[in-house]
Amino acid sequence: MKGVVVVGASAAGLAAAETLRREGYEGTLTLIGDEPHAPYDRPPLSKQILAGEWETKQLPLRPYDVLDSLGLDLRLGVAATGLDVADRTVRLADGSHVPYDGLVVATGVRPRRLPGEGAHVLRTLDDAVALRDRLGRGRRLIVVGAGFLGAEAAAVAWQLGARVTLLEPAPVPLAHAVGGAVGQVLSQAHLDRGVELRCGVTVAAVTEDGVRLADGELVEGDEVLVAIGSLPNTEWLADSGLTVDNGVVCDEFSEAAPGVYAAGDVARWHNPLFGVSMRVEHRTHAAEQGMAAARNLLRPQARKPFAPVPYFWSDQYDMKIQAYGCLRGHDEVAVVDGDLAERRFVVAYRTGDRLTGALAVGMPPKAIRSWRQAIAVSATWRDAVGTTAPATAPK
């Protein structure tokens, strides 16, 4: 290969570029990003940056001199607008065309939005700074969506002295992913601090004074943060010939078409460890898949399936949350260590007859590492949890 293009100056895109160089690729390497910033870390946006604990200069994933050492054709602040697989070219918003022999798609996701204007979202550095500048003691923040992102932002806003209202359409936040009992434990942390948590409500639109609910009620606030999930950035791939369905559809090697791979939040690939197609929006996963995609692109005759145990973490108030595996769609949740009431516990997740996930709250990392290994070797529920069933938490 003489030319490789990586679209997406993201954690996944940077990991792919670095891996190509580390593995001996010496050809032209173009890294394209729609933001003007060099690749930076996103998890701190809803934590350290929003809280004002970090300066923005602490976010870049690599110093500029390290980026320079990669010998990149670095094109920042210009979006990819089209892909021609037959001609092997990427079209950019500035009208230029970039040819490639190999391509890695790492364009990530964007926030879902609500009707109306004036709401914040939290995906980019500019988003985080804009919201941070509007928060402070006595300010009223409405957070729409009590998932992990919304919960983290609500916790930071409360710590900054804001009055927080957290709105969630589900009866129990995060129950679809972590189970009802765990969702209630995480929710209680907000209630204990005076956050107004309202479940079972649907927001119809953002207004000048807050948000309008589906039943017509106006919930007033100074600022509104919409955290209701994300959409894969795949519009630029229309008419490209790639299969797009809730992400760029890939095989177990992360390949979407001959010489075209996808990595990170935008990739929906077949994970042979779980036997299902999945799309994962986690920081650690993005880097891992970026590296795997680069290796498979560079050495197609020695490709290896990408079969990770997904990992994510979340910091909320004094709670450290860590999870491994595939939690969604589980059949059973069991407490295997600690106590839910004390917010110090490990729970395991069963799907069919297999252990497929584990989540820890308020526990040291070593408390959950053995569960990761059990998931990685496809342990059965019986072998992992034992014949004597532990306390089972309601789903």
What domains are there in the chain, each with its CATH number? 3-110+230-302 (3.50.50.60), 113-225 (3.50.50.60), 318-393 (3.30.390.30)
Averaged pLDDT for residues 175-203: 96
The partner residues of 336 in beta bridges, in order of sequence, read none
Q: What pLDDT score was predicted for residue 1?
A: 84
Q: What pLDDT score was predicted for residue 386?
A: 79
Q: What pLDDT score was predicted for residue 327?
A: 94
Q: What pLDDT score was predicted for residue 346?
A: 97
> Residue 105 has which token pair?
């798609």
Residue 78: what are its φ and ψ, rounded to 5°?
-135, 125
Report the C-alpha gap between 268 and 278 in whole angstroms.
Answer: 5
* Residues 6+ away with beta carbon under 8 Å from 217: none
* 118-149 per-position pLDDT tens digit: 999 999 999 999 999 999 999 999 999 999 99
pLDDT class for 254, splitting at 50, 70, 90? very high
Percent of the chain with pLDDT over 70: 98
Residue 390 has pLDDT above 50, yes or no: yes
365: how many CB neighbours lie within 10 A of its CB? 11
pLDDT class for 188, splitting at 50, 70, 90? very high
- Is residue 333 a contact partner of residue 179, using CB atoms and an 8 Å limit? yes
Q: What pLDDT score was predicted for residue 168?
A: 97
Residue 72: C-alpha distances to residues 9, 76, 83 (Å) = 11, 11, 20
Report the C-alpha gap between 182 and 314 in whole angstroms.
Answer: 14
pLDDT class for 91, splitting at 50, 70, 90? very high
Q: What pLDDT score was predicted for residue 388?
A: 46
198-209 burial code (b ≥16 CB/10 A, e <16):
ebebebeebbee
Residue 395 has pLDDT above 70, yes or no: no
Residue 393 has pLDDT above 70, yes or no: no
- Is residue 246 a contact partner of residue 234, using CB atoms and an 8 Å limit? no
Q: What pLDDT score was predicted for residue 394?
A: 54
Residue where the block lists tokens 């106006």: 218
Helix (H, G, I), strand (E, B) or coil at 306: coil
Residue 76 has pLDDT above 70, yes or no: yes
* 279-337 per-position pLDDT tens digit: 999 999 999 999 999 999 999 999 999 999 999 999 999 999 999 999 998 999 999 99
Percent of the chain with pLDDT over 90: 96
Q: What pLDDT score was predicted for residue 294?
A: 98
- Is residue 350 a contact partner of residue 378, using CB atoms and an 8 Å limit? no
